[in-house]
Amino acid sequence: MNICKPINCHYPYGFCINNKICKCISGYLHVPSISPRSCGYYQYSHLKALILEILFPGVGCLYIGFKLYGLIKLILLPLTYCVWVDVNVKETFNCCIISLIGYVLIFIQLKDLWLIFTNKMTDKNGVELHRSPIFI
């Protein structure tokens, strides 16, 4: 039997409703596999991830903890665009390969934006993003 006390309810992010229930404030969760204390896990902001991903592709993924994936997107999207613009039109084969890579990266970016917008993308620990009241 767990008794709710400030020591295990992680005050100020949670408070005891009664002897058994710890109520977390908005943006904090109890995730036993990550933090043994109730309300000890801070959820990443859905709105912040969405805005970062729209303005700077890859940075939203970096923010929610997908470091390698975010870095790859952050480097490859602008790099592919720069190479695509610089390729001579006569080099048809190279232009086609770079265009294909560019279109795949654009598709991946649109997919990620859709997943974040619909709140189907989770953070690095598999926890859902904290949804702002605007999007509820």
Instruction: Using alpha carbons, select from 37, 34, 32, 50 the residue that is nearest to residue 11.
Output: 37
Tell me the pLDDT of the chain averaged across its residues. Answer: 81
Chain centroid, CA 85 distance in Å: 30
Distance CA 134, CA 128 (A): 16
CA distances 126 to 40, 47, 52, 65, Å, are: 15, 17, 20, 10
Query: Is the predicted pLDDT of residue 133 greater than 80, yes or no?
Result: no
In this prediction, residue 1 carries a pLDDT of 44
In this prediction, residue 52 carries a pLDDT of 94
Q: Which two tokens stand for residue 123?
A: 């953070």
Distance CA 57, CA 94 (A): 24
In this prediction, residue 78 carries a pLDDT of 75
- What's the whole-number mean pLDDT along residues 33-52? 86
- What's the whole-number mean pLDDT along residues 40-67? 91
List pLDDT tens digits, range 56-89: 999 999 999 999 999 988 888 777 766 666 655 5
Q: Locate tokens 């303005």: which residue?
A: 55
Helix, strand, coil percentages (3-state) for the chain, rounded to 5, are: 50, 10, 40
- What's the whole-number mean pLDDT along residues 95-115? 83
